[in-house]
Chain A
Amino acid sequence: MEAASVQAGTPQRRRSRGIPERRLAALMVSPSMILIAIVAAYPIGYAIWLSLHEYSVRVAGLQRWAGLKNYTTALQSSEFWDAVRTTFIFTGASVVLETLLGLVMALAMHSAFRGQGLLRTVVLVPWAILTVVTAITWQTIFEPSLGFVNSLLGAVGLPDDTVWLGQSPEALMVMIFADVWKTAPFMALLLLAGLQVIPDDIYEAAKVDGATAWQRFVRITLPLLKPALLVALIFRTLDALRIFDLPFVLTKGAHGTTTLSLISYETFQTNRILGAGSALAVLTFLIVMIVSFVYIRFVGGNIRGLAEE
């Protein structure tokens, strides 16, 4: 993906002589295009092809053309729409919380004080831990009878018999919580990078003009942070939309935590229904594509300026 955007920038540069500009551009872009075709276009095409067929799970080698049947079945099933809802609730809640928390962390890390280096290191620890390990850790912490959370609640006199991962909506809340804990540092890191490119003299000028701290934050920090914020948002949203490992480990999809990736995996891999499973994967792909399109079209007014920075 990064390689592609670098390549996409290349042909826009002016060249004064030599091979016609367009030909040269095409030539220079072609290696990455061929690579993308092999690793991306072929699998997508193949998934679409599979999704238009039915492959028997009982008779070896039996298959037939299904047209759009796999899609209509998926779109009519409540399981699919439940998964869509769960995925969007998870994405919305976790991305908003991560952004807010990440921003606070980034601002804290940005201000100069003793022990700044240590803080930056400590903050990054959760992000460095594998998601599966994160999930198992939180699973243990939220375990009803031996876990830390219920013991703590009991110690301060609150009800301590909640089965966190055994009921809805608590299970989804734990999932969002675990994701926020893990990825807020990532958000913070991206935003910190954004903060560091804002020149100090702007702040000084504002101070001289008598701007309050809040005004400086709203009028200077936020607008100048927007490009970094946008990149971070896109990364996190697309990541969250395909969440798989957290629900897979925490609940196996029980109690309203079945996400789109999980339902595709279960259909395709566990139940070996290749056609329907591929259709679910393609639908997920379309949803993600629409979301990224909306992002860039409506939120990212200056995405191009951002890319050239």
Chain B
Amino acid sequence: MKGQRFKFLLVMCLAVAMAVVVAACGDDSGSSGGETSSGQTEGAKKIDPASMDSAKGNVTYCTGKDTSGDLKEGVKEFNKANPGLTAKLLEFPESADEQRNQFIQRQRAKSADCDVFESDVVWTAEFASQKWLLDMTPYVESRKDEFVPSTLSSVTYEDKIWGAPRVSDAGLLYYRKDKIKQVPATWQEVYKQAQSGKGIVYQGASYEGLTVNFLELAFAAGGKILSDDGKKSVIDSPENLKALQFMVDGIKSGAAPKAVTTYMEEEARRTFEAGRADFERQWPYAYALGEMKGSKVAGKFDVAPYPEFEGGGKAAILGGHNSVISVYSKNPGGALKLVDYLTSEKRMTKNAVKYSKTPVLTASYDDPAVKKSLPFIDQLRQAVEQAKSRPVSPVYSQISQAIYKNVNNALSGSTDPKAALKKAQDDMDKALATF
């Protein structure tokens, strides 16, 4: 009898201990009320550009780890130039998922920790629909001509502008200039040359990077992901199939190594720098690293904007970060003033020259100092200008999973491309129907 009770207790204790672990990742939803509204961002508070004129007090800029140091310098300079205002930087972990989690947790708790948040371009719609951001339309509209137009598409959701672009990013085609005489005009030609040479590497692992890599080819082939009203998935189309089949054939023919299905940025970079690939699809950050001592390709490579997809056109996918202002900020005027400073031409140009950050302002691309320190700035400009946004949706994380999981299955050969796209479409429709 006592034995029985003890057993029961032990079972309960073990179970409870497990449950704590399982439930530990559960944070507070903090939601209440239950009103519905048709436009998800209806009634969002607008921020008045004039509010920054007389701003005083403290502001905090939340961001992922400032590895290059450009934000630290920016904040310091801002404090020097604005005696009545004190800005400080709050750094989150380096991983993108973790930055997003940290910000979401604070917003759910209606915390005033972050006046400004450095949001990845793909999070904007989600944050806006949760009413966590101030509507910055009037401010950004007043500076509209300064920005490279493509960068504004990532801050626009439901016809309102929710942030100011601060850093841009777009993929480039890295190639060995000692082996490749002339950059091929089409992707098909790139793969053909890759097949007879040492191959092409890209980001093919099952994660966000693969969504970008696939969409670059799919958009170039003329494909679309969501219907115009954004309510349905149209990924299962002949154009997208052409792009996916092209990637799958590339692996089968040996143009790309089988291992790309496990590659993220760093694996691809290491392979290219070890001289084991002739082409690489990569972000601009790898340029400076590739020229450093220890890289076997230093002085032997160059970059180009993406070529055309045969029978389609050119496309790239926009990366980068936007400065968004929290609806729970106690000092929105000061926050806007800080954003205004950090996205100013002076700052942007300095970031490009000193920290190799891709500018979002057209003026910075023309600056002689920038041209000197970033020799590939013209290629980069073309890449950013032709770049398209990833689908703008509050359920973006699920949409992206539907893409990268199924595309990865097709690349590794466990599903055929047609079935993979069909499954991606089903998964995405399910995602779009999320309550």
Task: Please give the residue numbers on chain A whose beta carbons come within 8 Å of chain B beta carbons, in ascending order.
Answer: 1, 4-5, 8, 12, 36, 39-41, 43-44, 46-47, 50, 54-64, 143-146, 161, 163, 165-168, 234, 238, 241-242, 251-255, 261, 264-266, 268-274, 277-278, 281-282, 284-285, 288-289, 292-293, 296-297, 300, 303-304, 307
Q: Contacts A254-B206, A270-B97, A303-B7 hold; do A234 and B14 have CB atoms under 8 A apart?
A: yes
Residues of B near A278 (CB, < 8 A) are 26
The smallest beta-carbon distance between B381 and chain A, in angstroms, is 33
Q: Are A285 and B26 in contact (CB under 8 A)?
A: no
Residues of A near B24 (CB, < 8 A) are 43
Contact of B408 among A254, A274, A281, A296 (CB under 8 A): A254
Residues of B near A61 (CB, < 8 A) are 31-35
CA distance A160 to B340 in the complex (A): 55
B36 within 8 A of A: yes
CA distance A59 to B130 in the complex (A): 6
CA distance A143 to B259 in the complex (A): 8
Could you list 19 A-B pairs, sorted by A, with CB under 8 Å? A8-B10, A12-B2, A39-B20, A40-B19, A43-B24, A44-B19, A44-B20, A58-B40, A64-B435, A163-B258, A163-B259, A166-B259, A268-B26, A270-B401, A271-B401, A272-B397, A281-B22, A289-B18, A296-B10
Among B10, B20, B205, B414, max chain A CB count under 10 A is at: B10
Kindly list the 9 A-B residue pairs having the minimum CB-CB distance in the complex, ordered from nearest: A254-B206, A144-B259, A289-B15, A166-B261, A43-B23, A60-B131, A40-B16, A166-B262, A288-B18
Q: Are B16 and A44 in contact (CB under 8 A)?
A: yes
Q: Are A62 and B10 in contact (CB under 8 A)?
A: no
| Complex: chain B residue closest to A269, CB-CB | B25
B394 within 8 A of A: yes
| Complex: chain A residue closest to B393, CB-CB | A58
Q: Are B34 and A62 in contact (CB under 8 A)?
A: yes
Task: Please give the residue numbers on chain B whose beta carbons come within 8 Å of chain A beta carbons, in ascending order.
Answer: 2-3, 6-7, 9-11, 13-26, 29, 31-37, 40, 97, 101, 104, 126, 129-132, 205-207, 257-259, 261-262, 267, 270-271, 274, 276, 394-395, 397-398, 401, 405, 408, 412-414, 434-435
| Complex: chain A residue closest to B104, CB-CB | A272
The smallest beta-carbon distance between A89 and chain B, in angstroms, is 17
Q: Are A304 and B262 in contact (CB under 8 A)?
A: no
CA distance A273 to B398 in the complex (A): 10
Contact of B11 among A43, A273, A292 (CB under 8 A): A292
Residues of A near B434 (CB, < 8 A) are 57-58, 271, 273
CA distance A254 to B408 in the complex (A): 8
CA distance A242 to B23 in the complex (A): 12
CA distance A174 to B11 in the complex (A): 32
Q: Are B11 and A293 in contact (CB under 8 A)?
A: yes
Q: Are A50 and B22 in contact (CB under 8 A)?
A: no
Residues of A near B21 (CB, < 8 A) are 242
Contact of B26 among A41, A47, A146 (CB under 8 A): A47
CA distance A43 to B26 in the complex (A): 8
Residues of B near A288 (CB, < 8 A) are 14-15, 18-19, 22
Residues of A near B258 (CB, < 8 A) are 144, 161, 163, 166
The smallest beta-carbon distance between B78 and chain A, in angstroms, is 31
CA distance A165 to B276 in the complex (A): 20
Residues of A near B398 (CB, < 8 A) are 271
Residues of B near A165 (CB, < 8 A) are 262
Residues of B near A144 (CB, < 8 A) are 257-259, 262
| Complex: chain A residue closest to B427, CB-CB | A79
Contact of A64 among B25, B29, B34 (CB under 8 A): B34
Q: Are B259 and A145 in contact (CB under 8 A)?
A: yes
The smallest beta-carbon distance between A246 and chain B, in angstroms, is 15
Q: Are A252 and B29 in contact (CB under 8 A)?
A: no
Q: Contacts A43-B26, A145-B257 hold; do A252 and B14 have CB atoms under 8 A apart?
A: no
